Structures are given as C-alpha cells and as structure tokens.
Amino acid sequence: MTKILLTTLMTATSLMALTNMEIAEKSDKVTDGFGSSIAKTEMVLINASGQKSTRQLEMKTLEGDNGDKSISTFLTPADVKGTKTLTHEHVERDDDQWLYLPALKRVKRIASSNKSGSFMGSEFSYEDIGNQNYNKFTYGDKVEEVELDGEACYKGERIPKDKNSGYTKQVSWVSKDKFLLKQVEYYDRKSELLKTAVFSDYKQIEGIWRVGKIVMRNHQNDKSTELTWKEEKLKVGLTAKEFNKRVLKQ
C-alpha cells in the first residue's frame, strides 16, 4: 500500500510540474495588464574603472496583443538630450526599431543585423530594450529548482527564435512564489557568457507587478549599466498614434 501511495504521489507531482514555457508565460502575465505607462528612469553607465555617468529618461509603453510599442526619450545630459528610440515589437517577426538623433535631425532605422549593438553606449543592446515576450523563444526541457540569493526559483534555458539575435541562448531565474523574473544570463554567438541582468525592487502598481531596477553586467568588458525606475504610472490612456515614427521628430 505504501509503495502504491508513493508511486501515486510521484506521478501527481510529475503531472503538476511546470515546463519552462509555462513558467515564462506566467512570468509575462504577472507584469501584463497595464494598458499603457509613463515612467521616469535613471540610467547609470559604469566603466571598467568604476567611473559613472548618469542619464535621465522618459519611457512610454503601449500594451498590444501582438507586441508592445515603446518610446524612450533622453532628457539629460545635454549631449544626448532629445535622442529618442521607438520600438514596435512583433511576436511573429523581427521588431521594428528607429533612432532619432536631434543633432542630425533625422530618423535612422535600426537594421535587424545591428540589434545586438549597444543601446546608446550602455550594456543594454537594442535587442534587450524590446519587450521579451515569452512567445519569442523556444525552451529547453530541463527545469531546475534552485535558490538565488536565498529565494526559491525556477531555472531554465530559452533560445531566441530571431535568427539575428546576438544571443545563442539565455538562462533565466524566475521566483517560484510570484513568478517574477530575477536574473538572466546571456550567451553570445560563440556560446560564451556575455552578460548577466539582475532584476530587483519589484513593486505592485494597481495590482500589477513592475520591476524597479535592472543591473546589466558585461563579463567580457567589465562594464555595467544600472537602470532604475524613479516613477511609473500605469493605465495612462496612451494611444497608437503617440508611437508613430513621425512622433520622433516632434
């Protein structure tokens, strides 16, 4: 009887086990439902010697069924003030991205082959600043239950579907209790560890979980970038016309 009961429990546990894709979907869902948002953020660039330079940004996002739209505007310092990046995410194909350079007064399209390049000198790439929808990856079969800084997490691999991705794979840690993304390792085209992103300071705004800080560390050049949300408002009524390419020059 004991053996039968044990077998039944093991089978039930196996049936209840989540796949990496299910974990990623749940992680997406807990941060969804905001409609549109406006955030004031601070970006700190830290070089290999520890020297820092600080930038202030405004970030607007519009949620969409087939991908989000976002626009980032640099407010300070003077040398980057007015620079804007517009991203139209697409779940089933490459994202569309544009960069507006105020000094040249022109809009430049970011080619798919260049999306692994640095976003405005930071350790984030243009690929990183797009919304990482869970449908844009395939997933490894193995799910590990591990601890990260004392917190129980699911650990698993995901592979970008985009052939122009700068990454061969990513390894993610998602908290078991709230399904919040806690850490991602990014492996370059040589399958070597390139960067690690740490996600922290989560808070709930109107019942929706939002990240408060991301630290991206580049292991190959010893540089890092900290992105901190100073203020964020959700469900602010933004519309698609505010994310049109023509808005970049305004």
- Nearest residue to 221 (alpha-carbon basis) of 184, 195, 191, 197: 195
Grouping H, G, I as helix, E, B as strand and the rest as coil, residue 21 is helix
> What is the signed CA dihedral for 115, 95, 209, 62, rounded to 10 degrees?
130
Ramachandran angles phi, psi of 37, nearest 5°: -145, 155
Element (H, E) at 25: helix 20-29
Angle at 53 between CA 222 and CA 86, to 5 degrees: 90
pLDDT for position 1: 53
pLDDT in tens, 220-231: 999 999 999 999
d(CA 198, CA 32): 20
**Residue 202 near residue 212 (C-beta atoms within 8 A):** yes
pLDDT in tens, 170-202: 999 999 999 999 999 999 999 999 999 999 999
Grouping H, G, I as helix, E, B as strand and the rest as coil, residue 182 is strand
**Structural domains of the chain, ranges and CATH numbers in brackets:** 18-249 (2.50.20.10)
Element (H, E) at 52: strand 52-62
The average confidence (pLDDT) of the chain is 93
Residue 211's pLDDT band (cuts 50, 70, 90): very high
| Predicted model pTM | 0.91
Burial of 228 (0-12, 13-18, 19+ CB in 10 A): middle
The contacts of residue 218 (CB under 8 Å, 6+ apart) are: 123, 194, 195, 224
pLDDT for position 8: 42
d(CA 83, CA 98): 11
pLDDT in tens, 23-40: 999 999 999 999 999 999
3-state helix, strand, coil in the chain (%, to 5): 20, 45, 40
Mean pLDDT of 132-143: 94
